[in-house]
Structures are given as structure tokens and as C-alpha cells.
Structure 1
Amino acid sequence: MDPRTAALLHCFLFAVLVQSAPISSPTDLTPAFKEAAKRAKTLVEKILRDIPTVHRNTVNTEGLSLDPSSQNTNLHMMVTSLGIPAAPILKPLSEHFTLDMYVSRMLVGSQLYQGLLGVLSDKLSGLNDLRADLRDLLTHITKMKEAAQLDGNVSDQNQIPDLASRLHGNYEVQVAIHVMLTQLQSFCHDLIRSLRAAGAR
């Protein structure tokens, strides 16, 4: 092979390898990032502890339980009609799921549930503390983003659905708060795993 061709090929392969590498791994994240992740994890653990109490104090419709085995068979249809979106999926860091995507999805999910809580808190009481915790969680995740100097833009996130116009009665409100808390609980479990992987011990 011609030496110049070999050199060009070597440069090309090097560029491909660099481009496909993950932005960061848990071992090279800054102390500021890890500290923000640790504070976020502590807050997520508090939210997880509080969700069963909030559910018990706000949801009194029979068949709406945090126990998956007691779910109402008509619930899926109601979720579809209310238009409540699922939280963004969080995956382990890799060349296909970069730190930028990782933190941006944390932000999108937290913003989604804070927005839903804002709508539902106009319909029933007992949600303000949880809403405040999610606001604080957003602050910590934003600090993670700033510490890692990420450029990810979350403006293209799933918009908060027009939930208020679909809450025609108490049953719809009950289903909406139940679904939101159930999804938030699952999202928080994903957050815990992700934050631990990001160095929050």
C-alpha cells in the first residue's frame, strides 16, 4: 500500500474511533458533576419515599392502587384519552447514549412531571410538596449539565399535554393523579440507577 494512502487511512480510522467514543464515562466526570448528582439522588430518594403517602392522601377511587396486581382494566384506555406521555427512557452511558442525552432526558422527565403536578394541584390539594421537590430536582440536574458543560437543548422536549381540558370530572382527576404518580415512581427508580452510575453514591 502506498505510504500516503496508509497514512490517510490511519487518520480516517482514528477520526471514526474518536467520533464514536462516549462523551464521558463515570470515571472522568468532574467533582462538581458528581456532587450535583449526589444531591439529586438524595432528593429522588425522598420523592420515592413520599409517593405512596401522596397517593394514599389524594387517590380514593377503588381499583387505583400503586400495587400493579390491582390495576383497573380500563386504565389503559383512560391514559390514552387523557394523553399523558411516558417519561423519557434512560439508558447506560455508551457511544449511542451520550452524557448529553443522559442529562437532557433527566431534565425532560423532571419538567414533564413538575408540569403535570402543576395542572393537577389546581384540582386537588396535597401535591405542593412533591411539586417543590421536583423543582429542586430540576435545579440539581441543571447543575449537573452546567458542571459537564453540556450543550444539549431540551426545548424540543415533549410538551406538557393539555391535561386540564380533559379533566371533566373527579374520576378523570383521580386517574390522572394515579397515572402520574405511578409513572413518576418508575421514572425515579430509573433516575436512581442512572445517578448511581454517574458517581452519586
Structure 2
Amino acid sequence: MLVFIDRCTGEDHFSDAYAYEELFGGAIVKAACKWGHYSNNEDVVLAGSNPSAEDGEEAGTETSERKIDLVHQFKLVECNYMNKKGFKEWLTDEDNMTRWKKFFVDGLQEKDYKLSDEDALAKVEGGAMKEWKKELTNFAKFILPQWKNVMVYHDVKEDLEGAKIFYIGDGEGDNFYYINNLYRTEKF
């Protein structure tokens, strides 16, 4: 199983047990998600599993809560402080861009272990970062007009510098959107 781990907090946010695809030139990962009833003390069930019909428990019991499967699985928390204006500021913040540039370099070196720090930095500064920023802008143009349907999440550490996850529920379904370079992947 491939797990997507926040480079800043070290927390798991997503795995390939869920259907996903890359969008916006690979800058964004879109993962299908679904709403369900979950209890905080129940065993976590991976996507695609088939719970026994003999359990006899009804969805929506007193101790269960309606939430998104990925929120339950990865113990994500809604990020209540990020509004539309805050999203724009977060996406263009110079401190974030500096940190994300380092993440970009790290990502290139993880894909090609022979790549030196200088060579990876040269690739990033030689146009890769500019192209990535352009795709982030395209993502912002996609998400901002539908902000009323957006919910923002982060992990339990609630680190301001940690990656944010964007939920959009619309006519096409329920999906999470992750900024790809803010994650490293690990096989388990």
C-alpha cells in the first residue's frame, strides 16, 4: 500500500486504497471519498472491504457520527480558520513558497536518488517550480468559484504549516484534493 505523508507534520493523509488521479499537471491529487456514519471507537475498515451483514448495526446509531470516510480513516480535522481569502493568502504566502520549494527539491531527489542538491535545485529554479505555481493557480481558479461547496481539512496536529486537504461536494460527487508536492509517499 502506498501512503501519502504530510512532509511537514509526518502524518498520513491518504493511501492508494482509495481511487485517485493526478490533475493540473500532477500538481493536485484528486481522491474520491464518500459520506458515512462512523463511531470513534470502531475498528477502521479499509476501502473496498465487505463488512459482515450479520453485524446487525444500523447506520447512524447514537454513537456514530456522519463524516467523510477519509476524515475518519486518517483522523483529519476540519480547518475552521481558512476561508476564501485565507486560502488565497496561504497559496501565495512567501514562507509557504520557500518551504514548498524545499519539498519540491526533496521530491525530485526521492524520485532520482542520484540527483545532487544543486542539480535538484537547478531543476526547480529552472522552470519546474514556475510550472507548478502555474498549475496551483489553475487549481485556485477551479476551487474558488465553488468555495461554498468547499471544506478544508488538516491532520490532528493542526499545524499551520502542514498540508491542507480540500473537500468539494458537487454534482460530480464527493472528492478530496491534495497538493501533491506537500506529500512524500511510502510503501507499506
- Determine which structure has the larger helix proportion and give its number: 1
- TM-score category by the smaller chain? under 0.3
The structure number with the bigger radius of gyration is: 1
Which one has a larger percent strand, Structure 1 or Structure 2? 2
TM superposition score normalised by structure 2: 0.24
